[in-house]
Amino acid sequence: MKNLIIESENIIALQRLLPEYEGKIDVIPIDPPYNTDISYIEYQDTIDDWFAFMRERLSLAYRLLAEKGVAFIHIDENELINLVRLCADMFGAENIMTLVWKKTNKLFDKNRREKPLESGVKRTHEYVLLCFKDRKNTVLHPIRQPYWNGKGLSEEEKPLETVFDFLGTTSSAKDELYELLGSRDIFSTPKPVKLIKEFIRSASDQNSIVLDFFAGSGTTGHAVMDLNKEDGGQRKFILVTNSENNICRRVTIPRIKAAILKNGYAEEFEYYQIK
Ligand SMILES: C[S@@+](CC[C@H](N)C(=O)[O-])C[C@H]1O[C@@H](n2cnc3c(N)ncnc32)[C@H](O)[C@@H]1O
């Protein structure tokens, strides 16, 4: 199989993937619209019926997931309760866990623009819903967890913990885009490569298929290639993103190409557009 970048409304792409990939996807790291009305976002983040929108897509994703497959779904407070309700219905309450990601960290936030406080409170975390197809029979691998050693960052092998820090921040993810595409503001809500890489490490083996159908700037593809380079793996990625503001051709594809060039990754990919 080839790595794929698919420019499409994701519901259509997921339906097209079913005949070939039903039960074959090992990891689904996704970062859907949070349904928050924030003006700086350059794609549509608010959706009339968010619950129905997500249910339709997650029910297809559920069919694509392998028996021991795992999904990591980013969300913030706005739709957390609905997402938990939806995933508990779909995966079974016993198969989901709520994780907390520290999305700010002074060490990573050299270029961070402070947001206004909310009623005097600084928001420093988001959630990730970890959904197993069959939690009883699935064990996640340890991750490479960075920690502060007093002088700099070191890494140690550790189990994934329910609260995680030092895996990059919203701001450092923008710095990563700057390194590759020369702009921090080419895409407003990227996730850091290290964060997604450690999710994939925990839930994949060297031949896994990783699907992200809200791919945005393509961080998941970058993370798959980085992990493959590190451990000699042959994991494949399937990235799906829509055409809003020409995001796929303006950001996703150039980012993956730039990451390949800069880091000497061995991967290639095929691009399809489904209208
Ligand atoms: C929060 S961003 C994902 C960011 C990504 N994790 C990254 O690191 O760059 C969500 C992306 O999903 C895309 N999107 C939203 N709804 C979609 C849909 N129905 N089909 C395909 N893509 C969609 C948006 O255009 C946006 O680029």
Banded model confidence at residue 114, pLDDT cuts 50, 70, 90: confident
Task: Find the 82 Cα to ligand 1 centroid distance in Å.
Answer: 19
Mean pLDDT of 66-87: 97
Pocket of ligand 1 contains residue 217 by CB under 6 Å: yes
Dump pLDDT digits (tens) for 155-186.
999 999 999 999 999 999 999 999 999 999 99
Domains of the chain: 3-273 (3.40.50.150)
In percent, the amount of the chain with pLDDT more than 90 equals 92
Q: Would the pLDDT of 140 be above 80?
A: yes
In percent, the amount of the chain with pLDDT more than 70 equals 100
Q: What is the DSSP string of 119-141?
A: TTB---EEEEEEEESSGGG--PP
What is the per-residue pLDDT for 195? 98
Pocket of ligand 1 contains residue 208 by CB under 6 Å: no
Rounded Cα gap, residues 160 and 196, in angstroms? 12
Distances (CA, A) of 111 to 108, 164, 266: 8, 21, 31
Task: Find the 153 Cα to ligand 1 centroid distance in Å.
Answer: 31
Banded model confidence at residue 225, pLDDT cuts 50, 70, 90: very high
Rounded Cα gap, residues 105 and 187, in angstroms? 20
Q: Would the pLDDT of 120 be above 80?
A: yes
What's the mean pLDDT when you consider all of the chain?
96
Rounded Cα gap, residues 73 and 96, in angstroms? 11
What is the per-residue pLDDT for 41? 80
| Pairing state between β 209-212 and 236-241 | parallel
Dump pLDDT digits (tens) for 17-67.
999 999 999 999 999 999 998 777 878 888 989 999 999 999 999 999 999
239 bridge partner residues: 5, 212
140 bridge partner residues: none
Rounded Cα gap, residues 111 and 245, in angstroms? 25
Pocket of ligand 1 contains residue 247 by CB under 6 Å: yes
Mean pLDDT of 150-155: 95
Pocket of ligand 1 contains residue 53 by CB under 6 Å: no
Q: By the 8 A CB rule, do 82 and 36 touch?
A: no
- Give the residue whose CA is nearest to atom 2 of ligand 1: 216
